[in-house]
Amino acid sequence: MRLVLYIAALFLLNPSPALDTAPGAPANLAASLSGSTVTLTWSAPVSGGVATAYSIEAGSSAGLANLAVLNTGNARTTFTTTGVTPGTYFVRVKATNAAGTSSASNEITVVVAPRVCPVPGAPGGLTLVANSGGTVSLAWTAASGSPTGYVVQAGSAPGRSDLINQDLGSAAISFTVTRVDNGGYFIRVVARNDCGASEPSNEIVVTVGPTTASTVGRWNTACSIQGQFAVSAYYMVCDRGTWRYATYADAPPAPHGYVTRPAWYPTLANIFNSQVACPAEGVRLIYSPLPVDQLTPFTPYGAMVGEHVTPIDHGYLSIKSMDKPIASRTEGDYVPITMPAAGVIIELSSLGSPTSNRVVVDHGCGVFTVFMVINRVTGVLAQYSDRVTRGESIRPNLAVEAGVEFGRQRDNPLDFNVFDQAAWLPGYANVFSYATESWKPYTADPTPYFAPALASLFTSLSKRTQAPRWGRIDFDVIGTAQGNWFLDGTLGYGCALESDAVSATAELRGGPIAGKNGASYCHLALVPHWLQPGTRIASIGWWADPAGDFPQMSIRLQSGQPTPDQVTAATGVVVYDVVQMSQDGSQPTSSSPSRGMLAIRVNGDNTLTAETLPGATSPAAFAGFTAKQRKYHR
């Protein structure tokens, strides 16, 4: 009996290591994967106290725990989790008991690949079976890849679906439609399944009824409705039986601007040639396009730089790697670009360099996101890398889940914007002028689309401290000098000459303009600075060089001088002293060196007369408009 009491006393005075000593580190951590399911196993500690539970840590790089910290709640040396978001994880495990937590086990790298979900192949052999009395019958060969249905698309020009975009709801390989309106149609068929849509079939042209045009709205083809307005690469009008390029004289009148979308203006589905169904939960951007721990303050919408003479319709998301000298950057400095919400990648194209690419995503509900100047095409788009490097423009029609990687960024900001069919910017006096970038009026502030935590994060990172924090691009005030202007005789944003449209002997093409240094030589913007709206900017395509020299300058207002939004026809001539613009938007001072003088006058017909005086040092240098004056229109 005495021996038993003695032994009991020893235990009371010297408790077991399991009760008062933290465990040693676990060992032999390993992982196995099955799709998005990850199973971890490890060995229990061989030193220290007994582990009663384990803490699992996961980070975006070695040693970090910024992605997950999870207590298993038990002493088992295995753990399984499902539905893991695709990505790379650096994982380690620690043992715990009431006395404390051990050091970490060996660290392993777990790579969860995105779910592969192939879309069908393109249908083939699309043919016109019948065309009589407004009834059209089509047939095609089945697509590979087990399609669950087909979509028939018809447009007013090659590749468009602005006239018909009908899901047939079955895998049948024929289609008949009745009561088709007279006109010309470009028709193709797309196969679909749960993963997305295929590339289109061959395209055929079908002419219905007495109209002999190959398409509605195509230059120099027949039409039947005098004055009908259509949208192709440029605006078209039906004039005495033939489609021709429209000029400002043909544009539907809007003396008070376009505060709502006019019926003739293309929808985003027309512009991007895509219309994904609206998700039941709507569109919510739940992932940052770039890792949140790598973001630095970003430049919002509305910046003006170089040939971007008018306010830019995208923000510039910056990352920490850009703070390093280029020579010091490594492969490890590349960060993933991820899908902010589920959607279909409808466009992948090169911007002229292997390290500058563009991706367009249709999220449904008429909401699109656009990413530009992407350094590398990776992840779900890696299969297209060689093709886009060769300069191809690709329509992947690839359905992708939120959070999945499709690119990598290191060396420059990522251009990012949101467009929404339900949005409309009222501050463009004449949307006819934006044919070559017809998405601009649909530019949307990303804030309400982001999940609340991300919306707050980007608000805090914006370099602009005034609302709206994502900036603004539409500043036209009709009857004043403020806003965007385009050189008289041009068709607006694309700077094509009206005379070329009137005398066209072939279809007009976009791109570089002969004899000009850039396609924005005809632009002029008199608008607030994108960061400090109190500073007024004169951004002009043609300052001293008629071929285009594209300076951005701050207006140094003289005492009592009106700002551009206060200059009306009644004001008369105003001569602004303009100085080199500061990127941070700070007001020019009396010591800021002058670039010259800019004389402007708002005319009674809501045009603007302007004359530049490069090198002039005083408003007194302007004695009146000379032969060097120019006229601008909205």
pLDDT-based confidence at 510, cuts 50/70/90? low
> Same structural domain for residues 185 and 235?
yes
On whether residue 139 sits in a domain, the answer given is yes
Q: Are 268 and 261 in contact (CB under 8 A)?
A: no
Predicted local confidence at residue 263, as pLDDT: 81
Tell me how many domains the chain contains.
4
Q: First vs last Cα of the chain: how many Å apart?
A: 106
pLDDT score, position 15 = 47
Spatial CA neighbour of 571 closest among 481, 477, 478: 481
pLDDT attached to residue 231: 67
Q: Has residue 513 been placed in a domain?
A: yes
The whole-number pLDDT of residue 206 equals 80
Tell me what the mean pLDDT of segment 503-522 comes to. Answer: 85
Q: Could you give phi then psi for residue 323, rounded to 5 degrees? A: -75, -15
The confidence score (pLDDT) of residue 281 equals 87
At 576-624, the pLDDT tens digits run 999 999 999 999 999 999 999 999 999 999 999 999 999 999 999 999 9
100 and 177 inside one domain: no
Tell me, yes or no, whether 401 and 498 share the same domain. no
Domain that holds residue 91: 17-112
Same domain, residue pair 130 and 108: no
In this predicted model, what pLDDT tens digit does every residue of 169-184 receive, in sequence order?
Answer: 999 999 999 888 877 7
Burial class (CB in 10 A: 0-12, 13-18, 19+), 266: buried
Q: Could you tell me if 108 and 22 lie in one domain?
A: yes
Whether 521 shows a pLDDT value over 50: the answer reads: yes
CA 436 to chain centre: 16
Q: Residue 165 to residues 133, 137, 140, 270, 617: CA-CA distances in angstroms?
A: 22, 16, 17, 10, 60
Average pLDDT of the segment spanning 325-331: 96
Among 8-22, 112-126, 340-354, 572-586, the range scoring the smallest mean pLDDT is: 8-22
Q: Is residue 252 part of a domain?
A: no
Q: pLDDT tens-digit profile of 270-324?
A: 888 888 888 888 999 999 999 999 999 999 999 999 999 999 999 999 999 999 9
Taking residues 125-143, report their average pLDDT.
Answer: 87
Q: What are phi and psi of 444, to 5 degrees?
A: -120, 145
Residues 225 and 105 placed together within one structural domain of the fold: no
112 versus 206: which is more confidently predicted?
112
Mean pLDDT on 541-556 = 97
Q: Are 173 and 129 in contact (CB under 8 A)?
A: no
Is 231 domain-assigned? yes
Gyration radius of the chain's alpha carbons: 31
Q: Are residues 456 and 556 in the same domain?
A: no
Pair 305, 453 in one domain: yes
Instruction: Decide if 36 is inside a domain.
Output: yes
CATH (domain of 344): 2.70.70.10
One domain for residues 101 and 128: no
Does a structural domain hold residue 271? no
The CATH number that applies at residue 225 is 2.60.40.10
- Check whether residue 323 and residue 367 sit in a common domain: yes
- Residue at a domain's end among 75, 90, 112: 112
Last residue of a domain, one of 70, 92, 112: 112
Mean pLDDT computed over every residue of the chain: 91
Residues 68 and 155 in one domain: no
Q: How far apart are CA 587 and CA 471, in angstroms?
A: 18
Least confident of 37-46, 137-146, 269-278, 396-405: 269-278
Q: Of 66, 88, 112, which closes a domain?
A: 112
What pLDDT was estimated at residue 209? 67
Considering the entire predicted model, what is its pTM? Answer: 0.68
| SS3 state at 294 | helix
* Whether residues 594 and 539 fall in one domain: yes
Which of 226, 231, 259, 260 lies closest to 242, judged by CA?
226
Per-residue DSSP letters for 454-469? HHHHHHHHBS--SSST
517, part of any domain: yes
pLDDT at res. 225? 75
Residue 327 belongs to some domain of the structure: yes
Strands (DSSP E) contained in 120-252 are 124-132, 135-141, 149-155, 164-167, 174-177, 183-193, 196-197, 204-208, 229-231, 235-239, 242-245
